[in-house]
Every structure is written in structure tokens, then in C-alpha cells.
Chains A and B, each alone.
Chain A
Amino acid sequence: DTAVSQTPKYLVTQMGNDKSIKCEQNLGHDTMYWYKQDSKKFLKIMFSYNNKELIINETVPNRFSPKSPDKAHLNLHINSLELGDSAVYFCASSRNPGTGVGQYFGPGTRLTVT
């Protein structure tokens, strides 16, 4: 069984569109994350949620809005997509917030904005 799953795996869309990426974890973890890996392979945290509450919000444009309907899901909605949003987005989860350790990652969603 997949521990952290993301859909879709690939997403190609045009500038200006709105898109969502879904993430689900079946590990019973309380904390979930979204990371962005840019073209330089730099993996950087965007958001962190603990029990459906936002606890980390790095400097990310307001066009990005995470939504956590329950602690097993953390979806990422992106409005008015721009070329610079092209990247691989990874969802992750962990049991222990506050340590940053033991994070389990999903397979990633490769977003291409044309």
C-alpha cells in the first residue's frame, strides 16, 4: 500500500489556469507538508499542516492555497498559474511535528506551465 500518494503525477497546463494537486497519507500521521523542487533541484518547504491547522507558511505567493479537509489529506490549489510555477511538487507527512524528522514523501507531481 502506498503510504503517501499524490495525484496527478504529471500536470501540463497553460498560464492563467487554476489547478489542484491532491495528497493523501495512510500512515496516521498528524503533520503534512508541501515541498517544491525547482529547476535547480532545490527542495524547499512551502506549507506545513498539523491536525488540519497551518503551522508553516513560507514565502509563497497567495496564488497557492493549501487545504486540509482532514488530517489524512492536504491538497494544493494554485490560481492563475505562471511559467515560474513549473516544478515538481512533493507532499510529505510525519508523525512528530516539531522535529522535522521522519518525513515520508509522496512520488511528486511534475507541473509544467506553458
Chain B
Amino acid sequence: DQQVKQNSPSLSVQEGRISILNCDYTNSMFDYFLWYKKYPAEGPTFLISISSIKDKNEDGRFTVFLNKSAKHLSLHIVPSQPGDSAVYFCAASVTGANNLFFGTGTRLTVIP
């Protein structure tokens, strides 16, 4: 049973425009959410996170929004750059547990 879902397997965006990647979760116990970025032949690398006590966290061009009532989070990248082309994984955890639950990823392609 997949508790974290990314329903869009791929997304293409023009350079300079906004990229919006979406993620839904089913477990209401999750209280920490993360986005990882993965290039081919490399492991996922941590990008940005958000605690359930917040609804927004910003780091440079990357902003994560959390809507707890909808069990939905999104990652906004603006402006998008060709180097952002990668697979983005959403992940969730419960504080006190030691497990990260991952979505299946969204492949972002930024077109120059």
C-alpha cells in the first residue's frame, strides 16, 4: 500500500517558467515531508523539507507548500533552469520513526 503518491510521472517546462510538482499522502501521522532530487546513475539528494507545523518553506528558487487538510504538498521551482532536469521524489516520515516513505517520482524536463 503506497502511502505517498506522485501521480504525474513526468513534467516538461520551459526555462524561466515555474515548475510545480505535486505529492499526495494518505497517512495522517506523517509530520515531516521532504523532496529529493535524483540525476541518472546517482542516488537521491536532499533538496528541501517542511514540518507539519508549517505550511510553507522557501529556499532560494525552491518552495514547498503543505496543505495538511488535503494531505497534499507541492514543490515550486521558479525560475526553472535546464540543470533542474531530474527526477524529483517526495518523501514523508513520522517523527520518532526511522523510516522514509517515498513516492514514485516525477521526471522534470526543463526545456532551454
Contacts and interface: CB of A to CB of B under 8 A. Distances in A.
A105 B105 contact: no
Nearest to B38: A105
Contacts of B96: 98-99
Contacts, number: 66
Nearest to A99: B95
B43 A98 contact: no
B2 A42 contact: yes
Q: How large is the interface on B (under 10, 10 to 19, 20 to 34, 35 or more residues)?
A: 20 to 34
A21 interface: no
24 contacts: A9-B41, A41-B104, A42-B2, A42-B102, A42-B104, A43-B102, A43-B105, A48-B98, A56-B98, A90-B43, A98-B95, A98-B96, A99-B95, A100-B32, A100-B94, A100-B98, A100-B100, A101-B32, A101-B49, A103-B46, A104-B45, A105-B36, A105-B44, A107-B42
